[in-house]
Structure 1
């Protein structure tokens, strides 16, 4: 039995036909077969949850906008967490450490270490925001993994727009005493 005959025999046993490469379908075992190549379509696109199906161009446009805004929010959340962290840093320590100087001499460099207390409101808030950020990042990853071109563009465009809008405020502090940049 050659490969084609074997596949035909397997299809008759499962009472199914091979799914199109771009449409999620239910196989013999009741599991969704997800597309493994990028495609542009708006029919039978499952979005994150089994009951959330996109079947019209209008639904895809709405999903595009929602995913775009979610990706923008994700980028804004990252920047907001960094800003909150800088504002909540409470303990400052100065550490001196020896470093080799010119002609075999030893110089002492002082580094400032900033931290926050574990049992504090700012740290609890950071923890909650981190959980939200992780969940959103996995949602965006799973949306991208639908391989739907429209949704993938929405993730990328939203993340890019969010970065453009929010990251320009990001302060970059360069320590001139730091030797490893």
Structure 2
């Protein structure tokens, strides 16, 4: 069975640059034949600030939006998180979306595409800590996009040629780890 990997768009901000980045990741990833990729935009799920009375690890969801989010995330074998860097970390909406669930993330692989004035590296470092707590195996390679060199006028996404090599390296590692992690769940 084909591996399923979600490209998670981690920003809900109006006019966000993250949409163009996620679309680029999806377009390049979809050229591969070793996994099936789908864009998952957290903005489409309208998740309010965490409003479940029980901890996510108990999976006692009471809210319909949580049940829908859970069903969406549970179907994937791995994830590519596309995140801007806000104040040296991930957007609150992405952290909130991660906090809603627990078991749905467990024993799956994760890769990262970050962007910002410092290439999104601080946001990705925080995501690595979160992913570890959620029992995701995150790959070493990542894509670091600069607002100064990969965005014209800080808004029109035009990645430097080297970014495709970085994306390919991350996806190669992610697909391999996704397949390996799937054996833990089968």
TM-score, structure 2 as length reference: 0.23
Structure with bigger helix share is 1
Structure with bigger strand share is 2
Highest relative contact order (Cα 8 Å, sep 6+), 1 or 2? 1
TM-score, structure 1 as length reference: 0.23
